[in-house]
Amino acid sequence: MRKIDIALGVVGTAFSLAGLVYVVPNWIVSLGYIGIGMSPSFFPNFTLTLTLGLSVLLVVSSLAGRGKSEHVRIFNQGERVRFILSLALILGSLLWLYFLGFIITGVLCTAAAMVLLGARRPVSIALISLLAPLILWSVFSLLLNMTLPQGLLFS
C-alpha cells in the first residue's frame, strides 16, 4: 500500500493547492463581511489547508515507512477491459435515458449488465431485462405516480 499512499498524498496535495490558489478565490461569492468565521471562504480554506497538511504528512510518513516498496497493480488485463465496458455502460445508460426514456434504457441496461456479469442464456436475459424495468415502471409510475423519464424522442 506504500505506493498507493504516496500517490494519494500527492493527489491530495495537488487538489488542495489547486483549491486554495484557484478555486476558492474564483468560485466563492462573498457579501464582504470581514472577520474570522464570517466569510463563506473560511471553511473551504480551513478544509483545504487541513487536507494539504494531511496529504503532505501521508507522503512523508509513507516515504519514511519501513519495508520494501511493493509492486502495485490496480487492474489486471481482464479487469481493465471490463472496467472500460462498465464506463461505456454508464455513458450509454445516460444517453439512452435522455433520448429513449426509462423503459428502453431499463431493457438495454439490464441486458448489457447481465452479459457483463457472465449471463449467457438468451431466454433468461430477454425475460429479466424485459420484466425488471416493466415492473419498476409499473410500481413507480402507475402505482406511486412518480415521474420517470420518457425520453427526448418520445416526449
Rule CB under 8 A: which of 7-36 touch other proteins?
8, 12, 19, 23-24, 27-31, 33, 35-36
Distance (Å, whole) CA 125 – CA 117: 11
Short-list 132, 87, 84, CA closest to 108 = 132
Provide, rounded to whole angstroms, the least separation between the CB of residue 113 and other proteins: 4
Distance (Å, whole) CA 93 – CA 148: 14
**Could you say whether residue 138 binds other proteins (CB under 8 A)?**
no
Residues 66-105 that bind other proteins (CB under 8 A): 74-75, 78-79, 82-83, 85-86, 89-90, 93-94, 97-98, 102, 105
* Per-position x/- string for 39-58, each x denoting binding to other proteins as judged by CB under 8 A, each - no binding: -x-xxx-xxx-xx--xx-xx
Question: Please, are residues 106 and 137 in contact by the beta-carbon 8 Å criterion?
Answer: yes
Provide, rounded to whole angstroms, the least separation between the CB of residue 62 and other proteins: 9
Distance (Å, whole) CA 21 – CA 63: 26
Distance (Å, whole) CA 105 – CA 120: 20
Provide, rounded to whole angstroms, the least separation between the CB of residue 155 and other proteins: 13
